[in-house]
Amino acid sequence: MRPVIGISLGLESKGEKFYIKKDYIEAVEGCGGEAVLIPPQTSVASIIEKIQGLLLSGGPDVDPFLYGEEPEKGIRRIDPERDRLEREIFFLAVEKGIPVLGICRGAQAINVFLGGSLHQDIKTSIKHWQFAPEEHPTHTIFIEKDSLLYRITGRERLR
């Protein structure tokens, strides 16, 4: 039986359509999983019983109020409904021992949910927006040795 991986979705700025890059679905299915999409209006209690993994996907900025800051000038669009859903499902997944992976915005959201903060204007901290093809990595990530990702990759750094 294939593991069911829940993937969070965003809502377009006009609020009429959900969105996700197809790469997330292709990656989950390419690794033998079954992708289940989780829009912000989902009942977390029902979906958490159906998944064996959770992927918090990329998207708009995490609301600065969640980490005790006022929005700065460079802040982009936020999605409070998505913040609410992802926070709720994240803590339920952790409580139930379900593995969670955050990519881009998802990693930032996990950081905030666990009490961290963010640099709101990342372009002053590191090069973020890339001009190379999207599939070309632009910056290094550092992996903790006691993490599942380290056990999978065997590496402390990836680009």
DSSP string, 55-113: EE---SBPPGGGGT-PPPTT---B-HHHHHHHHHHHHHHHHTT--EEE-THHHHHHHHH
Q: Please check the confidence at residue 127 and state whether its pLDDT lies above 60.
A: no
CATH 3.40.50.880 domain extents, the chain: 4-121
In the predicted structure, residue 109 carries a pLDDT above the cut 90: yes
Nearest in space to 51 (alpha carbons), one of 118, 96, 83: 96
Which tokens go with 8? Answer: 């969070």
Sign (positive or negative) of CA dihedral 11, 13, 16, 20: negative
Q: In this predicted model, which residue has the larger pLDDT, 21 or 75?
A: 21
- The two tokens of residue 143 are 């992996």
**Radius of gyration of the CA atoms of the chain, in A:** 16
State whether CATH 3.40.50.880 applies to domain 4-121. yes
Question: For residues 80 and 59, what is the distance between their CA atoms, to the nearest angstrom?
Answer: 12
Q: What is the mean pLDDT of residues 120-130?
A: 61
- Give the best-scoring range by mean pLDDT among 16-30, 36-50, 82-96: 82-96
pLDDT of residue 93: 97
Q: Please tell me the pTM assigned to this model.
A: 0.80
Is the model more confident about 69 or about 12? 69
